[in-house]
Structure 1
Amino acid sequence: MSDAKIAPATREEGPSGFTGRYVLILISLLLSVQLLPIMGLLSGNAQSEIAIHFGTTRIAWFTLITALVGTFVLPFAAKAAGLYGKKRVMVIATALGLVGDVIAAMSTSYGMLLLGRGIAGLYTVAMPLAYAMARDVFPRRLVGPASGVLGGGVGLVALVGPFLSGYLLDHHGFRGSLWFMAVATAVNLLLLLVFVPESPVREDGGRMDWLGGLLLGGGLTSIVYAIGEGSHWGWTSGKLCAFVGLGLVALIAFFLVQRRVASPLLPLSLLTQRKVWTVFLATSVAAGAIYSVGVVMQLLALMPQIPGLSDGLGWSATKNAQVTAPMSIIILVMAVVTGTLARRIDTRLLLGIGGAFTAVGYGLGSQIHHSVSDIVTFGLVAGVGMGIIVSIIPIMVIGAVGPKDQAVANGAQNLLQSVAQVIVTQIAFVIMSQNGKVMKGTQFYVDSGFTNAFWLISAVGAVGALLVLLIPKVKKLDEAEVGQAAL
């Protein structure tokens, strides 16, 4: 890969704080980062109503198809961002996603709904590119806090989202949720067009590696699809083994192809650097823990309490939102604090602390999860770890790679993170289903299932913390080359 054309690192840093212009840029990028979690929350809560309306038993595809499309197109988007500009790719992906949202909202059949959600999956690429943009468009002193806000926005989504979802479903049905997705995407597109400057960081003289993209995106999509269907097919079924095997063959072919092309999709020289692959590994495992725990928490809170059949807490979505609000607030606060601390404190230490708090918090949750006070108590501990992790991941990628590799690196980390999330989530479902019962087509869960699922999340968080020991010293934000865009 040729050197990118970038401004000198000694360039004037600009304003000392978040001026009005920087605030508008941050809000625009924040919506790009959090658009997917918002859609995931609204989609998850609307699933049961959609399944009943369209009379389908394959409702899992409603959310799975978005993840599959995002996994497939992300390698192409990350490469295109380096060739043609991050903002340009984000705008195109968001515009196409808006088309998908409108198709889904107007759908008259389940097939049409899936088509719309599949097209909407194209805007999943905006999240890693927004993190990469933060490096380019903010001055050095603001990159850490800005990255913290972008990551910590998940706490804001977790705080406000359940109330919003409950209102939309109660007053406007699932159509209200689908149309809200379209409006949110349209607002995001407008903000990107008006307020976000284009990054000047480019890959000089490269071209799109179509074969590499097909092999990488197709291979990962095949594996993610198989894992997502594992519970339905059976974990030892020939169909699952075939899809996983096909995906692995495609990934092996991808690495062979990358050695021979002049402009590789993902330079192998980047992945073989210890400071890069160790950061990818540790952050992906830690993220796999915190992003997969949502299904456990939601099923615990919202499933009914039926003696001998179901040990859920039987709360409404509104009550669950109220109980988890303290946890959401601490996630947001810790994310912002972490973004500031990362300017001077070793990011490896921060990730290790985040993983440790996550492990302790959900380990505690495995023992106490039967009342409001229980959820609040372990949620505050786990929330500290989650806030640190969501904030530190993009910051560690900044420290591990140079500006010209930022988009590719964020895309690669996001792919690995998504695979880790799917794997941990599916294992959690299998664990919770043990000793559970199926009644009239509905899976119910008992207390031991929730206990063991929390232990799983705790263990994965602990592994993420321990993997920090593999990471060599990387640059702090104050040492990294950032703030390249001419604002």
Structure 2
Amino acid sequence: MNKMPLTNGEAERAPLTKGRAFLLLALVILLVEVIPLAYNFVTPALPEIAGHFQTTAVGWVITLVTLVLAATTPIMGKLGDIYGKKTVMLSASAVFGLGCLIAAVAPNFEIFLVGRGLQGAGMGILVLAYGLIRDVLPRELVPVAVGFIATGMGASTILGPIIGGYLIDNFGYTSVFWAQLAHVAVAGVLVALLVPESTLRVKSRLDIVGALILGAGAFVLLFGIGKATTWGFFDTRTLISVLGGLVILGGWLLYERRPAEPLVDLTLLFHKPVAKTLAASGLVQFVLISHAMLIPMFVMTDRALDLGYGFGRTALGVALFTIPTGIASMIAGPVGGHLSRRTGPALVLVVGAGALTVGSLMLAMMHDTTAQVILGQIVMGIGLGAASSALPNLIMGTVPATSQGIAGGMLNLFGSMGSAVGSQLAVAILTVPGVLVAANHLTQYQESGYVYAFAALAIAGGLAAALGLSLHKHRLDADALVAADDAPAEVAAGR
């Protein structure tokens, strides 16, 4: 097959029956599912991990994954453009598997974090999956397929806590890493054997220096946020770390003007629809990862501690509260992808982000009974599914085909940054009213801390909804301008 893009920037597609197309999509989703499982398997195990390694820095188990993912995703996108998306996806899967192995056998917390970091480096497969299905599947199936990939995560939200909880309760935290290793190995082999490679190639160079500066800035910033709970929010060390991280990130933006092929295309970044989509991605992922961390901690808290919340659930018992979210997300994702073709993805983002706002407020104000929390979880699932399916469709509809790799990398970069900030900020907010130390020497949080944290998620969801409204208005204005002036080129350029 031809290894160069067609003249319109599209990949050369082999004819596919609908059944074959959905089989390929299912295999790609199976491989992509390792990403949410790296969170859903691990979050219920955080108390055991903290106890095993005798550490209070357990938040870095989540933060490090998202931080490394943020720095490496744009590179993965570019490598996919250069060498082929399937080839790079399988290489990333191997790196992820190595991280699973190291985390499972790690003798200390430092080596354990190395394994988690490698998992994060391998999780760039998501941006490659978006590009691969766009290049391989028939065009008319792509919007729905993107929705399935974005919220095929719902399956892991259902099965992840059940399988992970059972493994943790019966075999300890290491078992979830062995399970992840088996999963990525089997899925990788199936993709290697049955999924075709994209024919689209784009000559490009890697901005390694830009990735290192970005990673350093994000690490220093998040280190300051994470230490705020120990040092104090206005302690000099906290302020120096936070401001230092921001300065490094500002320097990164200045540096990105220099390379001929930067890590982030600032031309795209300063294009208003793209910038708004990227900001919305960061906000949605902020909500997603924070919510995924807060719920297991909330429901596993022992009622006997008389803190005003908690249900004393085991790791397996967490599934009762996360399965409704997964079911709602699995339904809302493909439906959102379908509606994106009819109403435009911006309006789907508004609905999804609005549901995140409502669901977060419900969890903040109504969490005394199991039924109340499950109802809030269902609304959150609708929001996560709809918003997650809208964002990749938004970015793919905004940039040309030859920029899909880097644009997808930017989308996931901003999403990963939102996740990394969320994993640290959520814990920091929990500590604002003060913390308690239970008899088992584990830190416990005040009920008001959870109220504040869920309220913060509601604010983030509201901001994402506002961005969606702005994007929808831009689309309507652009359509009107095309009709009035017959100037599609100017509209496409955002003029």
Structures share fold, TM-score greater than 0.5:
yes
8 Å Cα contact 1:292/1:422 also seen in 2: no
8 Å Cα contact 1:331/1:383 also seen in 2: yes
Amino acid at match of 1:359: T
How do residues 295-310 of structure 1 correspond to structure 2 at under 5 angstroms? Answer: 295-306=293-304, 308-309=306-307
Q: CA deviation at 1:304?
A: 0.9
Match of 2:464 in 1: 464
Match of 2:213 in 1: 215
Match of 2:106 in 1: 107
Match of 1:334 in 2: 332
CA distance in 1 between partners of 2:65 and 2:286 (Å)? 18
8 Å Cα contact 2:40/2:292 also seen in 1: no
Per the alignment, do residues 241 and 195 of structure 1 end up closer, same or farther by CA in structure 2, a change over 3 Å counting?
A: farther
SS at match of 2:397: helix
Per the alignment, do residues 344 and 212 of structure 1 end up closer, same or farther by CA in structure 2, a change over 3 Å counting?
A: same
SS at match of 2:196: coil
Q: CA deviation at 1:401?
A: 1.2
CA distance in 1 between partners of 2:296 and 2:100 (Å)? 25
8 Å Cα contact 1:311/1:445 also seen in 2: no
Match of 1:70 in 2: 69
8 Å Cα contact 1:24/1:195 also seen in 2: no
SS at match of 2:343: coil
Per the alignment, do residues 438 and 78 of structure 1 end up closer, same or farther by CA in structure 2, a change over 3 Å counting?
A: same
8 Å Cα contact 1:34/1:153 also seen in 2: yes
Per the alignment, do residues 367 and 50 of structure 1 end up closer, same or farther by CA in structure 2, a change over 3 Å counting?
A: closer
Amino acid at match of 1:133: L
Match of 1:124 in 2: 123
Per the alignment, do residues 243 and 77 of structure 1 end up closer, same or farther by CA in structure 2, a change over 3 Å counting?
A: farther
TM-score where L is the length of structure 2: 0.87
Find out whether 1:417 has 2:419 as its counterpart: no
Q: How many equivalent residue pairs?
A: 471
8 Å Cα contact 1:227/1:422 also seen in 2: no
Per the alignment, do residues 108 and 259 of structure 1 end up closer, same or farther by CA in structure 2, a change over 3 Å counting?
A: closer
CA distance in 1 between partners of 2:74 and 2:227 (Å)? 23
Match of 2:50 in 1: 51
CA distance in 2 between partners of 1:41 and 1:11 (Å)? 35
Deviations 1:79-107 (A, max 9, x none): 22222222222222211222222222233
Amino acid at match of 1:96: V
SS at match of 1:444: strand
Q: CA deviation at 1:145?
A: 1.5
Match of 1:61 in 2: 60
Per the alignment, do residues 273 and 197 of structure 1 end up closer, same or farther by CA in structure 2, a change over 3 Å counting?
A: same
8 Å Cα contact 1:159/1:321 also seen in 2: yes
CA distance in 1 between partners of 2:252 and 2:409 (Å)? 16
8 Å Cα contact 1:436/1:444 also seen in 2: no
Deviations 1:158-187 (A, max 9, x none): 111111012212332222212112111212
260-269 or 457-466, larger mean C-alpha shift: 260-269
Cα RMSD after superposing both structures: 2.7
Deviations 1:350-371 (A, max 9, x none): 1111111221222223222111
CA distance in 2 between partners of 1:319 and 1:447 (Å)? 20
343-352 or 422-431, larger mean C-alpha shift: 422-431
Alignment partner for residue 314 of structure 2, among 313, 316, 324? 316
CA distance in 2 between partners of 1:207 and 1:9 (Å)? 19
8 Å Cα contact 1:6/1:200 also seen in 2: no
Match of 1:480 in 2: none
SS at match of 1:50: helix
How do residues 375-394 of structure 1 correspond to structure 2 at under 5 angstroms? Answer: 375-394=373-392
Match of 2:183 in 1: 184
Amino acid at match of 2:205: R
410-419 or 432-441, larger mean C-alpha shift: 432-441
Find out whether 1:145 has 2:147 as its counterpart: no
CA distance in 2 between partners of 1:353 and 1:147 (Å)? 17
Q: CA deviation at 1:32?
A: 3.5
Match of 1:479 in 2: none
CA distance in 2 between partners of 1:216 and 1:156 (Å)? 32
SS at match of 1:438: strand
319-328 or 406-415, larger mean C-alpha shift: 319-328
267-276 or 433-442, larger mean C-alpha shift: 433-442
Q: CA deviation at 1:338?
A: 1.1
Deviations 1:283-311 (A, max 9, x none): 32233223321222222211111354462
Q: CA deviation at 1:254?
A: 3.0
96-105 or 152-161, larger mean C-alpha shift: 96-105
Per the alignment, do residues 10 and 211 of structure 1 end up closer, same or farther by CA in structure 2, a change over 3 Å counting?
A: closer
Deviations 1:392-450 (A, max 9, x none): 11111111111111121121121212222333444433333343432254322333333
Overall identity of the aligned pairs, in %: 30
CA distance in 2 between partners of 1:111 and 1:13 (Å)? 46
CA distance in 1 between partners of 2:156 and 2:283 (Å)? 22
Amino acid at match of 2:75: F
Alignment partner for residue 475 of structure 2, among 473, 476, 480? 473
Match of 1:24 in 2: 23
8 Å Cα contact 1:358/1:381 also seen in 2: yes
Amino acid at match of 1:389: A
Match of 2:89 in 1: 90
CA distance in 1 between partners of 2:187 and 2:84 (Å)? 18
Per the alignment, do residues 359 and 120 of structure 1 end up closer, same or farther by CA in structure 2, a change over 3 Å counting?
A: closer
8 Å Cα contact 1:302/1:315 also seen in 2: yes
CA distance in 2 between partners of 1:161 and 1:97 (Å)? 17
CA distance in 1 between partners of 2:392 and 2:284 (Å)? 13
How do residues 248-327 of structure 1 correspond to structure 2 at under 5 angstroms? Answer: 248-306=246-304, 308-309=306-307, 311-327=309-325
8 Å Cα contact 2:217/2:246 also seen in 1: yes
8 Å Cα contact 1:310/1:444 also seen in 2: no
438-447 or 139-148, larger mean C-alpha shift: 438-447
Per the alignment, do residues 403 and 220 of structure 1 end up closer, same or farther by CA in structure 2, a change over 3 Å counting?
A: farther
Match of 2:171 in 1: 172
8 Å Cα contact 2:298/2:310 also seen in 1: yes
8 Å Cα contact 1:433/1:443 also seen in 2: no
How do residues 397-416 of structure 1 correspond to structure 2 at under 5 angstroms? Answer: 397-416=395-414
CA distance in 2 between partners of 1:76 and 1:469 (Å)? 31
Per the alignment, do residues 113 and 215 of structure 1 end up closer, same or farther by CA in structure 2, a change over 3 Å counting?
A: closer
CA distance in 1 between partners of 2:256 and 2:353 (Å)? 33
342-351 or 441-450, larger mean C-alpha shift: 441-450
8 Å Cα contact 2:67/2:219 also seen in 1: yes
8 Å Cα contact 1:357/1:385 also seen in 2: yes
398-407 or 78-87, larger mean C-alpha shift: 78-87
8 Å Cα contact 1:103/1:113 also seen in 2: yes
Per the alignment, do residues 88 and 244 of structure 1 end up closer, same or farther by CA in structure 2, a change over 3 Å counting?
A: farther
